[in-house]
Copies of this chain bind each other. A is one copy, B any other.
Amino acid sequence: MSKGKVCLAYSGGLDTSVILAWLLDQGYEVVAFMANVGQEEDFDAAKEKALKIGACKFVCVDCREDFVKDILFPAVQVNAVYEDVYLLGTSLARPVIAKAQIDVAKQEGCFAVSHGCTGKGNDQIRFELSFYALKPDVKCITPWRMPEFFERFAGRKDLLDYAAQKGIPVAQTKAKPWSTDENQAHISYEAGILEDPDTTPPKDMWKLIVDPMDAPDQPQDLTIDFERGLPVKLTYTDNKTSKEVSVTKPLDVFLAASNLARANGVGRIDIVEDRYINLKSRGCYEQAPLTVLRKAHVDLEGLTLDKEVRQLRDSFVTPNYSRLIYNGSYFTPECEYIRSMIQPSQNSVNGTVRVRLYKGNVIILGRSTKTEKLYDPTESSMDELTGFLPTDTTGFIAIQAIRIKKYGESKKTKGEELTL
């Protein structure tokens, strides 16, 4: 008799295929779940394989549009970034996938969910915290943290033996000496030979983005329109056809940014980062579309966002949102709170940015706005005397100087010299 239904996040690879078979062995029925978040994947083959192994059902949810509209574009609005450079490509996909998986679990009457994440990474946390928020009574079956599983499958050979025994087909291609995770926003590479942080990644590791050294000699210009901080139109001239192309649907805008950035060598990084569970790890990422969109968005904020609003948002909302996303805390009270702070900062972020992509560079060519008036060239011009009087600045400085003069005098009184 079945011990109940489990919804397993299935990838089609060796690990989750073994887990599928093992869960069946334990007496569970298994619904194999996949999310389409824009990764390169043979979904049909995965379906066939899951059913062949014994899944009672295979469900693939197309999350690509929700991913862009609900997650990726808000990340652009808030300029999300972790530890200076990582644009959170993997982390951002997790809430979308977890939500879809719980939806499937509910529809299919599963009492439990399962995944193939290891016990040392961030993803297990990102998935499980989301699961518990979305369905507090769900049970999480996490084989790589269960001694009866991880002790049995201590090495790759144990997995292969079990696969052979269960008749699970295994790809004949040799396993790459690193792990990857891909979605439409990025691909990550980690582990294996990358564990030495001084090893330069081999040229053939990089999959999505053209090597800057191989990118076209001709720059690619594009124009991005934003409304309330959201990219609403992307326009460019196709270098082959010389035709102007313009897209406006969120997914189309995102994919166009992705294609152009990938083709021009834009968006590779290589870092050592801090995992939520207090380990440092080395990761290489290709994050083409977010690199372009974020940079254009930051630039437009310079033109259209109030200085103090920007400073408050930068000092608090951006780093906290980024940290929470990285730590898998999307579905938490604090992230709901921080998310509520994104849109109110973006009301004035309306305008157009002209961008050039060239061999890895994102070069801002110019920006403009029809509706916002914060930038006033006349006023800031050194040659003009409108707006306020130079003597006003004298008063401004005098008020600041009250405190500063006391500081200088106090140093003098105490015999301390002010030095650089």
Contact = CB atoms under 8 A, between A and B. Distances in A.
Interface of A: 66, 70-71, 79, 83-85, 95-96, 99, 118-121, 124-125, 128-129, 132-136, 142, 144-145, 147, 150, 179, 191, 195-200, 212-213, 219, 268-275, 277-282, 298-299, 302-303, 306-316, 319-320, 323, 331-334, 336-338, 340-341, 344-345, 348, 354, 358-361, 363-368, 371-377, 379-383, 385, 387-410, 412-414, 418-420
Q: Which 5 A-B pairs have the closest CB atoms?
A: A395-B395, A119-B390, A274-B307, A308-B334, A272-B302
B142 A394 contact: yes
A355 B278 CA distance: 27
Given A197-B368, A315-B319, A391-B395, 11 more contacts: A119-B389, A119-B391, A128-B397, A133-B407, A136-B406, A191-B381, A272-B302, A279-B379, A313-B337, A392-B394, A392-B399
A418 B106 CA distance: 14
Nearest to A389: B398
A286 B337 CA distance: 34
A277 B402 contact: yes
A399 B391 CA distance: 10
Contacts of A274: 302, 307, 310
A64 B84 CA distance: 29
Contacts of A374: 280, 403, 406, 410
Contacts of A408: 132-136, 331
Contact of A303 (B197, B381, B413): B197
* Oligomer copy total: 4
Contact of A373 (B133, B195, B197, B409): B409
Contact of A399 (B135, B272, B278, B303): B278
9 contacts: A70-B420, A79-B84, A121-B382, A125-B400, A134-B408, A136-B408, A308-B332, A315-B319, A360-B360
